[in-house]
Amino acid sequence: SLFGSSSDYHCVLGGKMILHGRIYITDRYIMFYSKIFGRQKKVMVPFSQVNNIVQPTGQMFRSIVVEAGSFSRLLVTFW
C-alpha cells in the first residue's frame, strides 16, 4: 500500500477534472492518489477536518461526498 497500513479502493475523484486513482482510508486520514500521463495528484484530508460524509441519492454509481474544512466537496465513486 502506498500509505502504509490502510484500506484502498479504486475510485474517481470529481472536480474540475475527473481523475481515476485510488482512495486510501486509515484511522486518521482519507487520501486520494492518481498518476495519469506522468501527472500526480495527491489529496490528504485528516478526519479531524471532516464535517460530513454523505451518500448522494439518485447516483448511477456508488459514491460518497466528503465535506471538509479546506475542501468544499470531494466526490468519490467506487467500483
| pLDDT tens by residue, 10-33 | 888 887 788 899 888 888 988 889
Average model confidence (pLDDT) for the chain? 81
pLDDT of residue 27: 87
Enumerate long-range contacts of 29-33, CB under 8 Å, 24 or more apart. Answer: 29/3, 30/66, 31/3, 31/6, 32/74, 32/76, 33/2, 33/3
What is d(CA 52, CA 37) in angstroms, rounded to the nearest whole number?
A: 32
Tell how far CA 33 is from the center of its chain. 8
Q: What is the mean pLDDT of residues 42-65?
A: 83
